[in-house]
Amino acid sequence: MMILVTGGAGYIGSHACLELLRAGYEVVVVDNFSNSKEESLRRVQELAGKQLDFYKMDLLDRDVLNTVFDRYPIHTVMHFAGLKAVGESVTIPLRYYHNNITGTLMLCKAMQMHHVKNIIFSSSATVYGDPDSVPIKEDARLAPMNPYGRSKVMIEEILRDLYRADNAWNVVLLRYFNPVGADKSGRIGEDPNGIPNNLMPYITQVAVGKLPQLNVFGNDYPTPDGTGVRDYIHVVDLVIGHVKAIDRIRENPGVVTYNLGTGRGYSVLEMIKALEAASGRKIPYQIVGRRPGDSALCYADPTLAQQELGWSTQRGLSEMCADAWRWQVHNPHGYEET
């Protein structure tokens, strides 16, 4: 079975490609390498001992996109491609809306034209905004607080409308919490451009000496140690959830939505201590003011995914940190050192 992976060279996409190849699927990747490296796909193939096909292209390029659909018997699309930095989305909202939403529209048009009506969409817990209560269930109020999160909600609605218009579509909406870690080989991992936006790569880059210290945004939240609490999920557990979603697609479910998280939260200070234990290094940090829009607590209720996908997380915090550190220490400059 052929799976098209958009954004397949990125952090989550590359891990998904590896697990898909390991599970026996054929994979074709499209990626414009705006926030990823082609080297990740070379390493994926090396680790899997199998080949995939890939095209350097933008989803906004209709002609090349149609060529891919013409050339391959695609069964399901895993849609990871998109701009993803929350802070940047506030600064350049039009770019985020154009790239994320228009790119998805172009993808769906190509799918429709080629009678490919199965899609697994990379959504996000940012759709919930500052939650009314935790753990968060899939039917919680959607109240994103930034253009990135709003683009995810809009795409979810577009995909629901596609199904309403044509119930031959099957749509799996996967709302991620906070992916961390890396494949145990240490050969692929998170390689952000510039200063990391996410906590774990920031901590590991401080530990490896690439950055001087970590800023902790606020220590006066109503949490056990005053710092924000988030649901961190190992990226391998996350992408195994995508592989399980293909089985769900085969059941012709229509539109289904699942949280992918562990069901518990860790504070920023807990994450620092866990990475110190994994690395054997002290992580210097300073407390600074809160960031606008950050919530105190955010973690998933993953019960529905457990029940309907037969999926649950298998990797705990110590393994998340050990795997993230292994990737960082063996690749201090990411994929630049090949």
Q: Which residues are catalytic?
A: 148
* HSE value, Cβ hemisphere, 13 Å, CA-based, for 32: 14
Give dist(CA 58, CA 68) in Å, integer. 12
Strand partners for 216: 287
Which residues have a Cβ under 8 Å from the Cβ of 214 and sit 6 or more positions away?
202, 203, 206, 272, 283, 284, 285, 286
* Reduced 3-state DSSP string for the chain: CEEEEECCCCHHHHHHHHHHHHCCCEEEEEECCCCCCHHHHHHHHHHHCCCCEEEECCCCCHHHHHHHHHHCCEEEEEECCCCCCHHHHHHCHHHHHHHHHHHHHHHHHHHHHCCCCEEEEEEEHHHHCCCCCCCECCCCCCCCCCHHHHHHHHHHHHHHHHHHHCCCCEEEEEEECEEECCCCCCCCCCCCCCCCCCHHHHHHHHHCCCCCCEEEECCCCCCCCCCCEECEEEHHHHHHHHHHHHHHHCCCCCEEEEEECCCCCEEHHHHHHHHHHHHCCCCCEEEECCCCCCCCEECECCHHHHHHHCCCCCCCHHHHHHHHHHHHHHCCCHHHCC
Contact in structure between 21 and 46 (CB atoms under 8 Å): no
Contact in structure between 120 and 75 (CB atoms under 8 Å): no
